[in-house]
Every structure is written in structure tokens, then in C-alpha cells.
Structure 1
Amino acid sequence: MIVSVNENRVCGYIEYLGSYLYIDRSGKVIDINKETKESLPIIEGLKFSSFTINTKIPVENQDAFLTALAVSNAMSKYEVLDDAVSINVSDIQNLYAYIDNIKVLLGDNSRIEEKIKTMAEAVKEIPEGDRGTLDLTDLSKPIIFKYTT
């Protein structure tokens, strides 16, 4: 007898009516809970009106959802999830993320994995507790961190 088990791995959360939907890499809702259990990004800006556990979430803005999953996977790969992280995909031409007190402007979803890798490296250089905006919209230009006072 052969038993095959497929474990769904959570790759992000979507805040919904005071709870968190746990989303896997395929976009399926695998759980709902009042709190998050591990350091994963909270995905903001998705449009949907309902969901069912163990099915793919029916989002209106599918491109934004696919971008959110790509960003989440890259954040996991480059280990930037130890901090409080959120991703906003409401406008896929103007994506941004928050890592603690730092707003990271990502621009569109072109070269998104490279942007996340650059973000991971740049954030390590910013002293803990500093506030500001990190602009990664165009990787051909110098990376700029503007402090917020």
C-alpha cells in the first residue's frame, strides 16, 4: 500500500473581516484564523467577494494575485520575512511593500525577483528603527532611501 500526502504550505495571508486567510502557493485558501502563526507577508489590495476553504480564491484582479504570490515566494527565498511584512498589489504598476517602518516602492512587476533580492540586501544596511522610503522602481538607477522625520 502506498500513501501519498500533499501538504499545503502557507505562503501568505489575506486580512478578511478581522481574520486572516492562509493562502498556499497556488492561491488556495487552506485555513482561516484570528492571528498569523509564522512570519509571512500580509497581502493587501486583492478584490474578491467570497471564498471557500480548500479552493483557489476567486479574485477579480488575477494579475495582482499572481504578482503577490511571486513577491511572497521571492521574499521567502531571500529571507526577508523575519520582519513585519506586507505587500500591496492594488495597482500592479505601483507595487509597494512595508518592512517594519520602511516603505519599499517596487513599481511594476518587471524584474520583481531581482527587486526583492535588492530589497533584502538594502534593508540590512538600514539601521533598525529607522523610518523612510526605499525606492526600487528602476534598478538601473541608484537605490535611494529617503528618511522620514
Structure 2
Amino acid sequence: MIRRKTDCQLALFLMLFCAFAAWRTTLIPASGTGTRAGPDFFPWLAIIGIAVLALALLLRGLRTSPRPKPEAGAGRIGYGVLSLFAVLMVAYAATFERVGYLPSTIVMYVIGMLLLKERRVVHFLLVPVAVVLGVYFGFTGLLDVYLP
């Protein structure tokens, strides 16, 4: 029962956030660049994505029935792992410009997935490469923003 309530509350909070962000995004001046995305493109993309996921979370909260409690410690990530993840993010920030976007982000992504206990080889090798290349080509091809 607690999960249903939490999902619904979080979804409503996210929808309010999207409404606020949409209002503020309307204040961003259009660049008039024609086919290229302007300065308001990414905020609208993020708002739509968050709103869709918040709606899915709300629907999940309304549909799920109470589940039995998991066994103690199941699915939990300890403070040590989270601390290592924070150290990983600091190391990524320190090496990002020296090493370059593609290699540093792929390596960080794989190590992060391993820290968070992903053990399927296909997932921790193919997913980071696909996501990082998608983001890279999205920024360079669609937005003309070149990453280091």
C-alpha cells in the first residue's frame, strides 16, 4: 500500500514540476534558426519525457496491488557502493575533457553498471555504447553542439 501511495505522490509532484518547467520554458526566446533546434528544444524534450514517465508512474501506482515484503537486504545498495559511485563521478568529471567524451563516458557507464550490480555482459557492454553514441550523435548531428 505504501508503494502505491508513494508512486502516485511522486508522479503528481513530477507533473507539477513539468507544468512549472513548461511555463518557464515559454519565456525562452526562439532563435528562428529554421531547421536547427533552438535554445528551447532540449527543455521541451526533457519536459515531455518527464511528463510521459510521470504518467506511467501514476498509472502504475493506481494499478498495482500491495506486494509482499522482500527479504531483508534484497535489492538494496549499500552506502559503500554509493560512495564508490560518487568517487567514480568525480573521477569522470576530472578526466572528461582530457580523455574525451566517448571513451570516458563509456568506461564510466560500464563501471557504474558493474557497481550497481549489473552482471549481464550484453547489458553492461552494449547498452552504454548505444546510449553514449546516441547522445553524441544527437548533440553533434541535431544540435550542432560538439562534445570534447
TM-score of the aligned structures, taking structure 1 as reference length: 0.26
- Name the one with the larger strand percent: 1
Task: Say which one has the larger Rg.
Answer: 2
TM-score of the aligned structures, taking structure 2 as reference length: 0.26
- Name the one with the larger helix percent: 2
